[in-house]
Amino acid sequence: MRLGFLQMEPRFGAAQDNVAAIVQALARTRDATIVLPELCTTGYVFESRAEALELAEAADGPSLRALKVLARRNRLVLCAGFAEKSGRHVYNSAATLLPSGRVHVYRKAHLFDREKLVFDAAPARFEAIPGAVRYGMMVCFDWFFPEACRSLALAGADVILHPANLVLPYCQGAMITRCLENRVFAVTCNRIGTEHRAGVTLRFTGASQIVDCRGRVLARASDDRPELQVVTVDAVQARDKHVTARNDLFADRRPGAYGRLTTKLPRR
C-alpha cells in the first residue's frame, strides 16, 4: 500500500479555502492513504467554546463532503482532523474517509491545555477500522499516553493514522517507540506555521513522519514547509508480533500484573 501525509498550514476560520488547498495539493495523488493535520479545516487556536461551535461542522458537513468526493475520485483513504459539532457538543475529531464513501469518526480522548476550555471530552474507545488493511486513529496529544496506541494495536490496527498540531518537541521521537513496542506503522501528520490568537502564540513544529512496524523512519518532512510525501509499505508486516523466535509481543503480555493501568487515580 501507499502511505503518506500532507503537511500544511491551515488558515484560521477559512474552512472553504483550507479544503480547496487540500483538494488542489492531492489532485494528482491516487491509490494511497493520506493523513492530514489535526483541525486542518478550521485552524487550531479558538478564542472560546462559542467560536469553536460556530466554526465546527457535523461529520456530514460541507468540508468532509468535499473530501469524500476527493477520496472517491482518486481512490484515497483520507484521515482529516476537524472540529465536530454534534448537538450542543463540540469535539476535536478525526475522520477517516474511505473511497467507498464510508466515514469513520474518532473523537480525541486526551485534550491538551486550552483544548479543555473549548472541546468536550468524549467517552473514547480505541477501535480498528476493519478491512484488508486495518486502521486505527488517534489525535495529537493521544501520543503521550501509551495506552492509546497499545489499545489500537490490541484491537488489530496495522496502521495508526495520527493527525496532529504539535507544539512540544517530543512526539516524533516517541512515536518511534510506539511503533516499535506495538509493531504497527504510524503516520503522524503535523501542521506548520504560527497562530497568534486568544492571547497566546503557538508555533507548530512540522516534521511529519511515517514510521514502520520496526521503528524505522521511512519519511520525515521539514519543520516549516508544506510537504506531501508518500511511501510504499507492506502493512501486513504489522501482524507479525514476534520479537525473537521465542518472544511474541502479545502472547508474552501478563495482563494480571498491569492492574493499575486501568485504575483511575485521584487528582494530585
Helix axes of 62-74 and 15-25: crossing angle, nearest 10 degrees: 10
Summarize the chain as % helix, strand, coil (round to 5): 25, 30, 45
At residue 30, the 3 state secondary structure works out as coil
Question: Is 38 a catalytic site residue?
Answer: yes
Could you say which DSSP state residue 8 is in? -
Catalytic residue among 38, 51, 84, 115: 38
Nine cell digits for residue 174: 516517541
Question: Is 108 a catalytic site residue?
Answer: yes
Strand partners, 214: none
As a whole number of angstroms, the distance between CA 63 and CA 113 comes to: 26
Catalytic residue among 9, 57, 85, 108: 108
At residue 145, the 3 state secondary structure works out as coil
Residue 67's closest CA among 106, 95, 44, 32?
A: 95
Render 93-114 in DSSP notation, one character per residue. Answer: EEEEE-TTS-EEEEE-SS--TT
Catalytic residue among 51, 84, 115, 140: 140
Number of residues that make up the chain:
268
**Beta strand 194-197 pairing with 200-203:** antiparallel
Task: Spell out the residues 6+ positions from residue 145 whose beta carbon is closer than 8 angstroms to its own.
Answer: 109, 110
Question: Is 116 a catalytic site residue?
Answer: no
The catalytic residues are 38, 108, 140
